[in-house]
Amino acid sequence: MRHIDRLTEPSILSKKKEEWTKKFIESGRERPDNSKYGHLEIHVLLGAMSFHKCFYCETMLKGTPKEIDHFIEVVENKELAFEWTNLYLACDNCNDKLPNRIIDTSDVLNPCRHTDEEIKTHLTFEDEVISSKNNSILGLRTIQKYKLDSGKLDYLRGIALKRFHQELIKIQQNQIQENGRSMNEQEREKLRQFTQRNQPYSLMFEILLEKYQI
């Protein structure tokens, strides 16, 4: 999870949300119409905000199942069904989250509210395995709610980690061949690429690079 800056509300919502919300509440239905909150304009803007990654786990969403997620579930508050600040983008792993009655959204990290520094105070990684930092309850609840420790995410983070290690080993081999010189700026930059916000699992790599002091 990384902090995400929310862009301005798309015009389709400014124009339609009042009408859509009213109709949805009057209909008495449990779920809002996903063809409305899943409008292309909304999808595109959420994707632009997160560099096409899941808001919670940073999995790249291009070509994978992705869904628009209500941060506060509609069943808790129907008024928020078409509320821009309540719409997030999630992979199928994280969208299958634990309901609010089990873990409330007020007890978890929120990528649109918490800063990177705050997120890093509560979440950490040992290789591809995520854990709560310093026994943080907020970190633990976040992992539990979005299943950030699922086997699927471990597997995907493991693949990304392997690419990083291959790059690192290549650099280390060059260092050995060149009389054990230290890592140059260009090589550091290559590894730092993994921590860029548009990269998958960038928080994991940021923590890893801090550990390696790169």
Q: Please report which helix (H) or strand (E) contains residue 89, including its range.
A: strand 87-91
Q: What type of residue is 98?
A: L
Stretch that binds Zn ion, among 27-35, 42-50, 56-64, 198-206 (CB under 5 A): 56-64
Assess 94 for contact with Zn ion (CB under 5 A): yes
Separation of alpha carbons 54 and 177, rounded Å: 40
Closer to Zn ion by Cβ: residue 74 or 148? 148
Min dist. Cβ of residue 190 to Zn ion (A): 27
Assess 81 for contact with Zn ion (CB under 5 A): no
Closer to Zn ion by Cβ: residue 9 or 47? 47
Min dist. Cβ of residue 166 to Zn ion (A): 24
Assess 56 for contact with Zn ion (CB under 5 A): yes
Closer to Zn ion by Cβ: residue 13 or 109? 109
Min dist. Cβ of residue 140 to Zn ion (A): 17
Assess 57 for contact with Zn ion (CB under 5 A): yes
For Zn ion (CB under 5 A), the number of binding residues is 7
Closer to Zn ion by Cβ: residue 81 or 153? 153
Which residue has tokens 């310093």? 134
Min dist. Cβ of residue 56 to Zn ion (A): 5
What interhelical angle do 151-177 and 185-192 show, nearest 10?
170
Residue 101: C-alpha distances to residues 92, 98, 104, 106 (Å): 20, 8, 6, 11
Assess 54 for contact with Zn ion (CB under 5 A): yes
Closer to Zn ion by Cβ: residue 25 or 129? 129
For 76-106, give one letter per residue: b (16+ CB within 10 A) or e: eebebbbbbebbbbbbebbbebeebeebebe
How many CB atoms within 10 Å of residue 65? 10
Stretch that binds Zn ion, among 87-95, 106-114, 120-128, 204-212 (CB under 5 A): 87-95
Assess 91 for contact with Zn ion (CB under 5 A): yes
Cβ–Cβ under 8 Å, residues 114 and 141: no
Separation of alpha carbons 110 and 106, rounded Å: 9
Residues that bind Zn ion (CB under 5 A): 54, 56-57, 59, 91, 93-94
